[in-house]
Structure 1
């Protein structure tokens, strides 16, 4: 098991920037990759703001300053910088064709021993691994948002994923304060196979005018002790991502219980994606 000093993070969206921040805070050198300089500039500004907020709340990072942590992150639009990466975590859009294009490239760029982890909530890890010459070194790592605050990761073993690869992933997770629950590759894995059904059914309750979103979430928070209701959780994840995940489950299992709620489809078509753009089931 090689040293895991240099980590590639492909995709500088909400999850990618959270990962880059968390890894850099724990002493890793990070290559943060995305297609545009504007996206990367925005990601670095966001990470700076998040670090300052943490420091104001008294959460220090082993005596490192904000600038020292940021200096460990190398933002780049060029996948070629991943040639020295010990481990790569991919966080691009939940679309297989887009992911496939990434893996075809990085498989040629990275060392043969470099592990690839797909941070996905729905796409098959076995299918991703089959796009590479190293399917035994490909696995899923489903991080939760916000990454720096969530200490447990759903790790997914593809058909070919080796025990050594699972061990390497667990070693990396331990290096930045996280633990894993290892599950087998199946549509939605554990978390989303249950969560997406819950969110979809909650959306049907709004659609059928059984109760408004605030009351639905109140029942889960005050009756069951959940920290957040299913509809606020959907807004946090992004309703477009929620809809895509439900559609994958519906197509994968051919089971009507995963039929997407018409209201959810309508909201996504209307551009109501949740927190990311200010309005979903709630306004932000």
Structure 2
């Protein structure tokens, strides 16, 4: 059929918002991103969290708890950060220009049935021991932690380091473990860090991310049979000599921490 000058203008109307929402569910991330540039209505339809959340969590499950640290960051933005970080890890890293003040330490810990603790701590609020200067930091998390029933429980641990401004992210630890929740008890978890950059799958590094939990004693319980995390410690440990690396080495991509994020 040929169209003439008398063809009703309604034929040329853009698809409705509802149609865009339906179609967007069948698009891949690249096509979604391109489609969001067509117009404001397309951008609103193609950028919604309900579309990008399953895409983000399926592509980057180790980063899935990041949104808890700042709920205002959209999932489309988190996907872009994860994709950029993945691409940088495939490249030969350059020496970064980064300091502790530029970082945010985000930790989320939960059991199968309850929240344990979620905290986002800026690096400039972490105290470096002036005597040894090692990459190990203690954080008081009493205000961020929830009450947990006593007993042996399976826990899910996620520790991510974010560059301020959400310019990049690196997963320090994403693991499952078992811990006894009892007054005054402690839990210790570690996970080996990958080789930096293009060598990330080349083999063992001998460097591990280290995380410890200290539970409150009986006097600090709010009700019988429940405890809360009192203190959280995070660090980078060399298993060669079982010592914590220095802050300088911990922030260097050619030493310990594969921060190819600058």
With structure 2 as the length reference, what TM-score do the two structures score? 0.29
**Structure whose residues are more often helix by fraction:** 1
Structure with higher RCO (Cα < 8 A, 6+ apart) = 2
**Is the strand fraction higher in 1 or 2?**
2
Larger radius of gyration: 2
